[in-house]
Amino acid sequence: MTTLTLFILSITCLLLGHFFKTVRWSIMLRPLVKARKSTYYLSLSLGYFINFLFPFKLGEILRAFVFSRLTKLQFSYVFASVIIDRILDFFCVTAAMIGYAAYILYVAHRPMDYSVILTHIGIIAAFFMLLRLVTKRQLLWASSIFNNTLKRQILTFFWCFQILVKLLKKEEAIRQMIFFTICMWASYIAAVFMFSSYLKSIDVGASFHDIFSQQYYSSNLLKSDFLKILGTHSDYKAALLFQYFLYAVFPLLCLALYQWIGNRYQDSQVVRFVNKSNRFFHVLEAEQKVLLFKSDDDTLHFLESVFCEKSIEGQIVMYENNQDITILKDLSGSSSATTCLVQKDDTLLIRKYTLKSDAEKLKVQYDWLMTYRNTLPVAEILGCTQKTDYFSYDMRYFPNSFPFFEYIHAYDVQKSWNSLRSLFDQLEEKLYLPTKKEASASAITHYVEAKLFSNLRLIKEVFQKQHGLWDHATLKINDIEVPNIQTTLPFFLKGIDYHRVFTAETTVVHGDFTVENIVALSETEWFMIDPYPENIFNSKFLDYSKMAQSLNMGYEFLRKVEAVVGDDNTIRYPQTRSSQYKELNQHFEAYILNKYSKKGLQEVRLHEIIHYARLLPYQIQRGRKQAPIFYCTLAILMARYKEDYFSL
């Protein structure tokens, strides 16, 4: 080959290697961002040019920064992909070094300095050791020494790193990564071979190993490629520097030129042809989100929860299936599902989603809403998504709607009660009566054992160990002495004939008919959300008792306060139940007494106790600070029930 041909081939192979590298990089970022290939080219070319001039591989930071600015993707995510890209290259270079050393040792039979190879192998060993030893909780702890902004950035970086690694473990991604890595390094090695052959043809004494080590070895980060050339081959320094500059920089100029042409002549035949020929890149460029939360505080809360989990599989499923939305506000209540106001394209809607075992429960909720959408005032469902360990559904968002909790405190009590009574009357007429049937005694027994007794055993175990509240005969709650749960427990275990108290009748129910699950559209229009229709024993008194859970003890208020637990049996917390709640509860109890007599009210109150017994383990599991408050609430309800109905 002629000298010029070798030089042109070396540049062509290097340019081809850069092409394969950008393709591989786009595979890593594919789940995170959609960007023109010219964006990848420009980011890579600028980063490599800085690497050529400056030490410490500072160009990698610039590469991430430029890509982040052009795609409006947070820097942390892009930088994580760059780190993974460099780690893969480090492994490949180490493998090439080992192969070259084997050639020198067993074929060429020449002496060689193995220190660089051993350093690389040591770094790889240390890397894998850190992966095994450092846990997510330790990363969370380490990040906590910084302010919330830096903490969020640090956790974001490691979260993205984990997500990328998990996504790259998929079979298709692995095949593509291997293929393009092989193509990339074959091109780079061919480029080095051609360039070293070219230098020999012009009598510049730089071998293949010299060029490869200068360009790809990580043994001396203190020097840039430019400084490395200045420090070697003194006899040919000027010639080598000029040739190497053309060889290294010209492909980068080609990549940058493509970006300029692509922006200036987007409709040209050449650019359209190149765009169509490359099916591996996303050609759409728009503002892109990774974590779906608009608020930094919500993002940090999500990251903290992720780094407390042992597995991130659920977060990956959640992430992949919510890429079509931007979360504007977290509206989640006390359930395990996440409910958010989101923007999809130009439309605002409510999305509710959950993972793993809770996905089946959310599917039941969706089915109930779809079944009764033409019968009852329920949320308008727009669609759903069901995948393995994931379920979500979208609801229509009404801009003028507001929670019924706000409705209660915005209008007079009589108007609020008329609304509630109207909803109860509709449930009675359109749901309870048409679906009524006799309940078996075993269903009641199973319900009491599963929902009351088993939860009381769990509550005893936790509050004996963690809070110390269980062991006292009485509790002093806000200066009022109340029998403790352990004192009234024998009465609930053996002193109540549950088959006599509970009406042996089942119906289809809403199952979670609290104040927070009603939404007001206007003064005279409302709809229900978030049913929980599977409760073992589906009595209509479940729905009434759920409303009692809200109005009687002020559930929605209890969720917003924290308790101060004393050294003995003393506990204090703000009692913030509003006067509107108190008056509504009076209307509600009068309604129950008038419709179902004293026995009906007794049944409602017993179901209410069971609801709080079910709720408390969930609060404990979630580590919420309100757990002692709900413990005291349960103790008060159990003591009142024993006092009111012991003689019955």
Q: What is the DSSP letter of 292?
A: -
Q: Which residues does residue 381 pair with via DSSP β-bridges, in sequence order?
A: 395
Give the model confidence (pLDDT) of 134-156 as tens digits: 877 888 888 888 888 888 888 88
Cβ–Cβ < 8 Å for 42, 257: no
Looking only at the bridges linking them, the beta strands covering 526-528 and 518-520 are antiparallel
Query: Positive or negative, the Cα torsion across 446, 451, 453, 457?
Result: positive
pLDDT greater at residue 578 or residue 168: 578
End-to-end, the C-alpha distance of the chain in Å comes to 106
Same domain, 368 and 329: yes
Q: Supply the DSSP string of 351-370, one letter for each residue.
A: EEEEETHHHHHHHHHHHHHH
Give the model confidence (pLDDT) of 322-332 as tens digits: 766 766 676 77
Backbone angles phi, psi at 506, to 5 degrees: -120, 155
Give the model confidence (pLDDT) of 115-126 as tens digits: 778 888 888 888
For residues 190 and 208, give the distance between their C-alpha atoms in angstroms, rounded to a whole number.
10
Cβ–Cβ < 8 Å for 506, 537: yes
Of 175-189, 343-357, 570-584, which gets the smallest average pLDDT? Answer: 343-357
Residue 284 inside a domain? The answer is no
Three-state SS string over 317-342 comes to HHHHCCCCCEEEEECCCCCCCEEEEE
Q: How much of the chain, in percent, has pLDDT values that exceed 70?
A: 81
Give the model confidence (pLDDT) of 378-412 as tens digits: 999 998 988 877 888 999 988 888 889 999 998 89
Asked if the model's pLDDT at residue 492 lies above 70, the reply is: yes
Give the CA dihedral 552, 556, 561, 566, nearest 10 degrees.
40
Residue 116 inside a domain? The answer is yes
Residue with tokens 């209890």: 558
Residue 192 inside a domain? The answer is yes
Asked if the model's pLDDT at residue 545 lies above 90, the reply is: yes
Same domain, 429 and 384: no
Residue 210 inside a domain? The answer is yes
For residue 258, what pLDDT is reported? 66
Q: How far is CA 161 from the centre of its chain?
A: 14
Compute and round to an integer the Cα radius of gyration of the chain.
Answer: 34
Same domain, 268 and 156: yes
Same domain, 467 and 337: no
Asked if the model's pLDDT at residue 282 lies above 60, the reply is: no
pLDDT averaged over every residue in the chain: 81
Q: Supply the DSSP string of 44-56, one letter for each residue.
A: HHHHHHHHHHSST
Q: Which residues does residue 565 pair with via DSSP β-bridges, in sequence order?
A: 571
Backbone angles phi, psi at 49, to 5 degrees: -65, -40
Write down which residue in 353, 381, 396 finishes a domain.
Answer: 396
Residue 282 inside a domain? The answer is no
For residue 285, what pLDDT is reported? 36
Angle at 32 between CA 31 and CA 36, to 5 degrees: 95
Cβ-based neighbours of 16, under 8 Å, separated by 6 or more: 187, 191
Write down which residue in 352, 372, 396 finishes a domain.
Answer: 396
Backbone angles phi, psi at 46, to 5 degrees: -65, -40
Identify the domain containing residue 183 by its residue range: 3-277
The arrangement of strands across the sheet holding 402-403 comes to: 402-403, 518-520, 526-528
Q: Supply the DSSP string of 494-545, one letter for each residue.
A: HS--HHHHS-SEE----S---GGGEEESSSS-EEE-------SS--HHHHHH
For residues 315 and 330, give the distance between their C-alpha atoms in angstroms, rounded to a whole number.
16
Same domain, 359 and 437: no
Q: How much of the chain, in percent, has pLDDT values that exceed 90?
A: 27
The two three-digit tokens of residue 188, written as one number: 């780079």
Q: Which residues does residue 477 pair with via DSSP β-bridges, in sequence order?
A: 480, 571
3-state SS assignment for residue 437: strand
For residue 376, what pLDDT is reported? 93
Q: What is the DSSP letter of 293?
A: B
Same domain, 571 and 436: yes
Write down which residue in 396, 431, 460 finishes a domain.
Answer: 396
Asked if the model's pLDDT at residue 438 lies above 70, the reply is: yes
Query: Model's pTM, two decimal places?
Result: 0.62
CATH of the domain at 364: 3.30.200.20
Q: Amino acid identity, residue 614? A: R
Looking only at the bridges linking them, the beta strands covering 474-477 and 402-403 are unpaired
User: 330: closest CA among 361, 303, 302, 362?
Assistant: 302
Residue 371 inside a domain? The answer is yes
Asked if the model's pLDDT at residue 23 lies above 50, the reply is: yes
Same domain, 255 and 301: no
Q: What is the DSSP letter of 387?
A: E
CATH of the domain at 508: 3.90.1200
What does the buried/exposed string (b/e) look like for 628-638 if buried means 16 or more CB atoms within 10 Å of the residue's CB? bbbbbbbbbbb
Give the model confidence (pLDDT) of 83-107 as tens digits: 999 899 889 888 888 888 887 777 7
User: 74: closest CA among 166, 168, 160, 163?
Assistant: 160
Same domain, 525 and 613: yes
What total number of domains does the chain contain?
3
Q: Amino acid identity, residue 293? A: F
Same domain, 174 and 105: yes
3-state SS assignment for residue 135: coil
Report how far apart, in Å, the C-alpha atoms of 244 and of each of 15, 104, 241, 247 are: 14, 26, 5, 5
The two three-digit tokens of residue 397, written as one number: 């968002």
Same domain, 52 and 108: yes
For residues 604 and 539, give the distance between their C-alpha atoms in angstroms, rounded to a whole number.
10
For residues 146 and 573, give the distance between their C-alpha atoms in angstroms, rounded to a whole number.
32
Same domain, 314 and 426: no
Residue 285 inside a domain? The answer is no
User: 466: closest CA among 616, 645, 345?
Assistant: 616
Same domain, 351 and 452: no
Residue 288 inside a domain? The answer is no
